[in-house]
Structure 1
């Protein structure tokens, strides 16, 4: 007996034969005792967990406002609302913090405005030299005077009437002197103008010829006045041509020259 106890434990072997069919029948008839379960579970090695590839998570469309994540203090997250309740809940918009948006800065800084210390000087206009004539007007030549030319002088209100021969525009010494006297009467009246109405006889069916002769007579009287010192801006010439009614002496070849202040 002592020799058997002294044998090493490694030399002791036991052969166990297990009938699996009998064990299945026994398990169906009688449950295993409770004290054997922890013992058997203690000797069993748990199987290694299987690695399952994670499935891709697809986010459903947002039909309700997003619930913010719970804080890290350990407070449990509130229960998720059901779909009908979330649909009926009024959406709440969370205002963004003021510090999250920054004003856009310009690409180039604005140039500061510079204000002059004093206003610019007043420009000085240089006057034209007094010896330079501005806008010179050519003086017409004196009209030809013929002693044998036909012409008379008669007085009218505010001026004179000078007659001519038919188809002629030549002045004689008498008519020329009457025009010089009229110009002298305008010298002391700078606000008065000289009015000249020129007439001429001719055919009724050819009004151009009487107008050309009337123009020649009016220009002759105008030349006398301008050479006497009356500027052209104070002389108004009207070329009429055939008169509507003959003059008092029955003639149609004449000019009426008078002052503007005599017109009623």
Structure 2
């Protein structure tokens, strides 16, 4: 059973944790539940206290008013999770829309963020290279056969069906799904990036059709001293690309604590 944080509007936000050590808050992407982190969270829990949560309207979290969903409001939910977990400050890792949420968290509540990792995300869909409308149609289709190639390498997906299922399986109503899409689509934190003071690592797939690589460069350029690292991968690189986990661990762990783990 999950634990629950109470958001500003009284909504219950379900969260869970595993592992011990310095806290790491994982913020999932659009309409993705906490279980979508799968083996990535399991691996990080060997070194950290990993905290995951369901966005409002997803999984075990309350929905609230989906018409008022924004990435900035989702960041307030993330703060409520940290409060409920008794965590003053954590490393924060956000994927896709979760990376957009993490931008607001780091800009508005800088004292809560130790280091920041932004995976497959952008500061805004306005300006820069835009995604193909056909790709958006595939994303919104709900057809796993159409969505899977956007996220994962075909051979990896075939070899790891449980991880793929955990990523795509969710409990959400139509209203919440629409609210999540609108929140992610309308995100624009370009002017807030300069307020981010946490050391930041931007990780991106060179073949990401949902968020083209030039958008990641714009994001990294907007954050002081941020570093961009690109991989031979698509949008779900945190799961199907072992080098991403290695990069995250190297960035978050002090050198003296880094140790090899089996894949």
- With normalisation by structure 1, the TM-score equals 0.21
Q: Which has the higher helix share?
A: 2
- Larger relative contact order (C-alpha < 8 A, sep ≥ 6)? 2
Q: Which has the higher strand share?
A: 2
- With normalisation by structure 2, the TM-score equals 0.21
